[in-house]
Structure 1
Amino acid sequence: MLFSSSLIALVAAFPALVSAAPARFFGKRAAADVLVFKFADVLEQLESEFYKQALGKFKDNDFTTAGFSSSQVPIEQFLTIQEDESTHSTVLQAALRSFGEQPITSCKFKFDSALTDVATMAATARVVEAVGVGAYLGGATLITDPVLLDAAASILTVEARHQTILNILSSTGTAVPSAFDIALTPSEVLALAGPFIDGPCDLGIPANTPLSLTNTGIVGPGTKLSFSTSAITSSNDTSKFFCQMMLGGQFASIPLPFDNCVVPAGINGPVAIFITSDGQPLINNVRDRATTQLVAGPTMAFIDTKPQMLGQISRLNLAAPVQSSSTRTISPSEASSIIAGASSTSAAASPAATGSSGSEPAPSTGVNTASAPAVPGTPNTFTGKSSDGAITVNGWVGL
């Protein structure tokens, strides 16, 4: 009998329930299943620590300086994401212990280069979540137990929601840029996450050689990309290398000459970029993707060509005055006060009050300047806008 991933999470998160849990949950697991859970846990630790350090460093004014209309919007979302990642790690570690395995807790992380300012941090967060989505997609092919696959998939869907939120907060991204995501192998994930790992962190998986973009400013269609990697030195003949751009939903990557790696038109969203020793396209699935010609990578780039209105909401300047066309009901005494004010303004602007003898009538403003009741508290029949045009008054008639 198979049990739901929600129950797995429940018994894993609350050790007191473990003794009463079915034996189906515990005992030895396939080596591949254990490896995926250990790997996923370290990645969750990295993500949680990234947001923890970011929230600890940046203050309210750092977010508003970065263009957010209110610091509460991004802080609320980053805090929610951090709590999710921390919970994922807690549950994965509890599950590993229930299998008789020890989670890897010795890895340390550093994010100095990603926490220079809020803009850099937010851009890095998009990459971090894209890596999380790709890692769980790629890891799904390795899991042998369908119950554990279900549990991992329940985390994957949340990582994808995080990605959407960060795309929106970027203000230039598309909330859901593609109908498909990019799956990554564990070695590819380590190439992306490796620069953030500080010191020994043996996961039992070899990492691809890291690759990074060296372009400054916005990267978009027509941009010629430049790279940095230890796999290519000045002694290498770079004309023999290729950059390969992999997009979600595409059967294979787009191969381009390394020395003329220009972003083609029609791309929007995350792109995984590899360096290879030949121009054979890389298959876009982790089972069939060739590795023998791989030189470095991937690195992840976001090509934002279809910004959406939704992304602009978090960057609106809410300090600017907002014009409102709404109306509200007011009491008779409030109406009398408003009309009295309107009458005074009208009288002060009349030719008699100003000494003007012009014969042309003043242009209509659409504001009714009927007089207030002669006796306070008696009915008036004024209907129209107040003198400043902010409130519409419906005349009150006494019975």
Structure 2
Amino acid sequence: MKSVLFSFVSLALVARTAISCPLTLEDTSNGNALAPLFVPRRRGLICAPHLDTRLLNFALTLEYLEHAFYTDGLAKYDQHAFQDAGFPPWVRTRFQQIADHEASHVALLSNTLGDKAVQPCQYNFPYSDPQSFVALSMVLEGLGVSAYLGAAKSISNPDVLAVAASIMTTEARHNAWVASAVRKGAAWGGSLDVALATNQVYSIAASFISSCPDANAEAIQMQSFPPLHIENCSYEPGQTIDLTYTPAPNPDAPHYLAIYAGLDPIFVEICDNQAELPLNLGGTGIVYAVITTSLDSVTDANTVAGPALLYFPELI
């Protein structure tokens, strides 16, 4: 069983550069109407601590990115392009519904934050055809799940937590649908999803962002870690991989590869910029790898580089 890195994601990670009205989409594959989509009413700013407001703006930053991804991709690839790439007609129709979900998430978070909401950025997505668009969709939806899951423990306001949880479960359904119905793989990678810290998520998301309004930086207060590159074009559990990253200020300090394939990372020693992948990664789907100076925990302070993405398809 071979495990192949998402090459287009790797390329992106290198470059750091109102009334509620139901809208019905027609499924052109069978003539049946899809489930109605509701535009959320304006709710106004939740009376929440500053941290919750910052996390909502962080979530809005991710939703802007996803919304732009689907809007741009679906404008570029019509029904014929998807069918020429080997997808049945209903695939693009369902992606359009996901795009509408992301627009609804943007509206909900923007209306919740009111005048404290951040603004959209300029984006650069490295897909080149419907196939790579679909694969990147799975990456972004999975990243969204890990982002909301990781932020949940820091949210103190139950109303804010409910908003985040409602969006997260929808993102998880998107991810599972793309992975299974569209890509014919497993809908999940394990019994527990990965929870990523906000700066870990932002480090990946920033690779798709060309520029942002200056005010956004103060509103979300995130940092992007140096990139981690995995040089191997293919890999499998138990194999030694080659790592490229900027060394920490103290190059004599030991470095470890922390691999997120569930709630708790697995730590592997790095020797001469190489690390051996654990044997139990088979079938875990997308996992995240971070370089750290600690053998038992990962924090912003001890993170050297990453995350990088690796992909381990299901075992057949």
Normalising by structure 1, what TM-score?
0.61
Confirm or deny: 8 A CA contact 1:275 1:295 kept in the other structure: yes
Output aligned runs, 1:147-186, within 5 Å.
147-169=159-181, 171=183, 173-186=185-198
Query: Is residue 39–residue 104 contact of structure 2 (8 Å, CA) maintained in 1?
Result: no
* Structure 1 residue 123 displacement after superposition: 2.0
Secondary structure of the residue aligned to 1:275 is: strand
Give the fraction of aligned pairs with identical amino acids, expressed as a percent.
26
Report deviation, 1:136: 0.6
**Partner letter of residue 276 of structure 1?**
T
Q: Distance in 1 between matches of 2:299 and 2:308?
A: 17
Contact 1:36 1:139 in 2 (8 A): yes
Maintained 8 Å contact 1:46/1:109: yes
Q: Which residue of 1 aligns with 2:291?
A: 275
Letter in 1 for 2:163: A
Give me the whole-angstrom Cα distance separating, in 1, the residues matched to 2:209 and 2:173. 25
Specify every segment of 5 or more residues in structure 1 that has no aligned partner in the other structure, as ranges: 1-10, 19-24, 283-288, 308-399
The answer as to 2:218 corresponding to 1:210 is: no
Deviation at 1:91, TM superposition (A): 0.7
Evaluate the alpha carbon distance shift between residue 192 and residue 146 of structure 1 in structure 2; reply closer, same or farther with a 3 A threshold.
same
SS at match of 2:291: strand
CA distance in 2, matches of 1:151, 1:165: 22
Q: Structure 1: which amino acid aligns with 2:117?
A: P
- How far apart are residue 29 of structure 1 and its match? 2.4
Which of residues 144, 147, 151 is equivalent to 1:139?
A: 151
Structure 2 counterpart of 1:33, from 52, 71, 79: 52
Spell out the pairing of 1:3-22 with structure 2 (5 A cutoff). Answer: 13-15=40-42
Which one has the largest radius of gyration?
1
- Name 2:107's counterpart in structure 1: 90
Name the residue aligned to 2:35: none
Taking structure 2 as the reference length, the TM-score comes to 0.76
Question: Which stretch shows the higher mean deviation, 39-48 or 174-183?
Answer: 174-183
Distance 1:56-1:12 versus aligned 2 partners, 3 A rule: closer
In the alignment, which residue of structure 1 is the partner of 2:70?
Answer: 51
Question: Take 1:59 and 1:291, find their aligned partners in 2: how far apart are those partners?
Answer: 42
Counterpart residue identity of residue 50, structure 1: F
Q: 2:252 & 2:309 partners in 1: Cα distance?
A: 21
- 2:163 and 2:100 map into 1 onto residues whose CA distance is 18
Structure 1 partner of 2:134: 122
Give the deviation of 1:209 after TM superposition.
2.4
Structure scoring higher RCO (CA < 8 A, sep ≥ 6) equals 2
Query: Secondary structure at the residue paired with 1:13?
Result: coil
**CA–CA separation in structure 1 for the residues paired with 2:78 and 2:238:** 36
> After superposition, what is the alpha-carbon deviation per residue over 1:134-166, rounded to whole angstroms, capped at 9, x for unaligned?
111111112111122112111111011111012
- Structure 2: gaps (5+ residues): 1-37
Over 3 Å counting, the alpha-carbon distance change for 1:252 and 1:244 in structure 2 is closer
Q: How many residues align?
A: 272
Q: Which residue of structure 1 aligns with residue 266 of structure 2?
A: 253
Residue-by-residue CA offset, 1:165-190 (whole Å, 9 max, x unaligned):
12114636311221111111111111
Query: 1:220: which partner in 2?
Result: 236
- Of the three residues 81, 101, 110, the one matched with 2:98 is 81
Whether the aligned pair in 1 keeps the contact of 2:203 and 2:223 (CA below 8 Å) is no
Q: Which residue of 2 aligns with 1:300?
A: 309
2:119 equivalent in structure 1: 105
Q: Residue 270 of structure 2 aligns to which amino acid in structure 1? A: P
Aligned counterparts of 2:70 and 2:130: Cα–Cα separation in 1: 12
Residue 199 of structure 1 pairs with residue 211 of structure 2: yes
Give how far 1:86 is off: 1.1
1:82-113 Cα deviation digits (max 9, x unpaired): 1111110111000111xxx42111422111x2
